[in-house]
Structure 1
Amino acid sequence: MFGKYRIAILGALALAAVPAMAAPVTPSSQAQSRALILVPLTLTKIDDLRFGTVVPSSLSGMVSINASTGARTIAGGVTGVPSDVGQRAYFGGAGTGNQQVIITYVQPTELTSTTNSADKIPVLALTLDGSPIRTINPVTRTFFFGMGGIIMINADQAEGLYEANFDVTANYQ
């Protein structure tokens, strides 16, 4: 019986003699991990359409996001902020290989300020990155598409965050 206690005490002493380890440090930035799971006959939004940050002037202008590349183009009296260039909307779906899907959407007429609902930005167009008729990949049984758009920034547009929702539908044939 004495031997068992003696081993336990020696083990405790050995643990107590271990030098103290440095305290864990919280990382200064976080990483994100993601997995996309596509269920057959569904449509999943991967990314929102964002026009980025712009600075208006006394002249009106336009901001465009390319549906294929996500690149932003600015015209007229608008200056783009390089640190927030926006992005295209991106969607994915799944179904039977070689099945055709028709993509439809309802374009909002305007973006509305989140702080003053009287402030609006006209939406001139939403665009797809190709034909609205897609064929589901026979190997992966998936399809993907991007959406861009064009908005009109009015002269002396009030500052703020502007947003609107739009509906996108995948009609499986």
Structure 2
Amino acid sequence: MKKNLLSLVVIFSIITGGKAVAQTSATATANATAGVVTPITLTKTVDLNFGILVPSGTPGTLTLTPMGIRTHAGGVSVLSATGMVTPALFAVSGESGYAFGITLPGTDVILTNGGGQTMHVSDFVSFPSVATGGTLVGGVHTLTVGGMLHVDANQAAGIYTSQTPFSVTVNYN
């Protein structure tokens, strides 16, 4: 009797154990999700304009901040009649509440008066700054850009304009 009982236990173990070993796969399901935000855009609304200046026999610089404040050094003077003085003004648009980074020109921009004389702009700065970037409130933000104009000694008179526009880039952080 013990032998028959032992045989039944062994047979039962083999049958139920075989089913547990026979499970070699399992299946589950998952959903896929993607979030899409409004593309970020940058539109120039006003060009960078250093206004009217007077050179001398000494080279100098004229700096225009992103807030529109001019300072001069060296042999450059400014007149009380400044002309149109504006930092470059850009409109940033995109997804509200998202932060963005700013990239300014890394090389000088050359201005020419059409007669072969040149000046160059360097040290571009922005508000908000490159270091902090900005945040789109209501999906918009204003970005202003200034820089430093380098004026040669006895710079020739004329209207100097960049032949190639400079690039400013914004991107979502």
- TM-score normalized by the length of structure 2: 0.68
Q: CA deviation at 1:40?
A: 5.6
C-alpha distance in 1 between matches for 2:78 and 2:109: 20
Q: What CA distance in whole angstroms lies between the structure 2 residues aligned with 1:155 and 1:62?
A: 10
Q: CA deviation at 1:126?
A: 0.8
Q: What is the SS of the residue equivalent to 1:167? A: coil
Higher mean displacement: 154-163 or 76-85: 76-85
Equivalence map 1:6-25=2 (5 Å): none
Per-residue deviation, residues 5-40 of structure 1 (Å, max 9, x unmatched): xxxxxxxxxxxxxxxxxxxxxxxxxxxxxxxxxx96
CA RMSD in angstroms comes to 1.9
Report how far residue 124 of structure 1 moved: 2.9
- The aligned counterpart of 1:64 is 63
For residue 64 of structure 1, give the secondary structure of its aligned residue in structure 2.
Answer: strand
Cα distance in structure 2, aligned partners of 1:58 and 1:114: 19
Task: Give 1:146 shift.
Answer: 0.9
Partner of 2:110: 111
1:53-132 counterparts in 2 under 5 A?
53-67=52-66, 69-83=67-81, 84=83, 86-117=85-116, 119-132=117-130
Letter in 2 for 1:160: G
- 1:72–1:85: structure 2 CA closer, same or farther, 3 Å change rule? farther
Aligned residues: 131
SS of residue paired to 1:171: strand
| Structure 2 unaligned regions, length at least 5 | 1-37
Alpha-carbon distance in structure 1 between the residues aligned to 2:107 and 2:51: 18
Give the TM-score, by structure 1 length. Answer: 0.68
Compute the displacement of 1:85 (Å).
5.5
Percent sequence identity over aligned pairs: 31
Shift >3 Å, 4+ stretches: none
The correspondence of residues 128-139 of structure 1 with structure 2, limited to 5 A, is 128-132=126-130, 133-137=133-137
Q: Which has the larger radius of gyration?
A: 2
Distance 1:91 1:166, change over 3 A: same
* Structure 1 residue 59 displacement after superposition: 1.1
3-state SS of the aligned residue for 2:49? coil
